[in-house]
Structure 1
Amino acid sequence: MDNNDNKIIDEAFRLEEDCTYSAKGHFESAKQWRYLYYMLMLFSIITLMLSISNIFVNFSICHIILNITAGLITVIIIFLNPQEKYISHQNSGNHFLSLRNEIRIFREIEISSLELNQKIEKISFLSKKRDELNINSLPISTYGYENAKKQIETDKNTIYEIDKIKGNKNDNK
């Protein structure tokens, strides 16, 4: 293996690591949006039910406050659209994992059978694919990134069973 191959493999590791962080960050952001959606829906349902139950008792200031609260929560749900953001982050995370796997296969299997110019083309293609995913994805929240980073650093020694058997610790970052 020559110096160019080593540089290409190093770049593949960088891309793989970047995809791991991006995927995990998107999954963490998706989790935040899902929880927000559930909380808002729960509060919306509770205030709506209380408001409806107050109609039969009497019309009071409490009834007006409950109606306004239910309306505001509904407006917040419509404006923020947390369910759509959840789905977008979840899909982005899945796309980054898919790309990470594609990079790993290139690095572990395909690279040995390719000529130098084919290796350069492939690593450039994979890099552009990662860049496109970054451009087309929603930004990862700071909280999501910090949680993802903590989880990745905690799980750094986690490896596939086959790699444990073969003694290969390079695969899972």
Structure 2
Amino acid sequence: MPATLRHAHSAQIHPAPTTLTRSARDPDAADNAVEVICPATAEQLPVLRAIATSIALRADADLDLVADLRLAVDEACTALVRAAGSGEPLHCRFIQHPDAVEVVVAAWAPQPSPAEDELGILLLSSLTDHIATETQAVDDGFELRTSLLMKVHPEGTRS
């Protein structure tokens, strides 16, 4: 069953590229983006982890960073899957930059996100170089968005 957007908020939910790093403003970044819209269900998490792995490997990240990105994507997506409205899609945008991988995930929810899971935020903060969460009111609910950025070549290790 393919995911479809609800008419009332179909124009609002769209993970847009952020300007987290200098490379994120690179005009070629759109050429290195993969966007996935899938049902907001736990069954989709392995697919999203696999896409994150592929993009991190393509960016020449070491295996430890690949594992960290997989875990971060899983944590961010799981939180949105839990909060998303029944039958709603999960929007994921994976962007490969020359020195980083950026992931933006968003979902529609009937109510604002419950109090943030402190352990989840702590985990995401320890795995990534930057994390941002947003809740924005839309016509008939809320758009929940999480943005992650992970440098694939930490200072001094780029070859």
**Shorter-chain TM-score above 0.5:** no
Structure ranking higher in strand proportion: 2
More relative contact order, 1 or 2 (CA 8 Å, 6+ apart): 1
Structure 1 or 2, whichever has the larger Rg, is 1
Structure ranking higher in helix proportion: 1
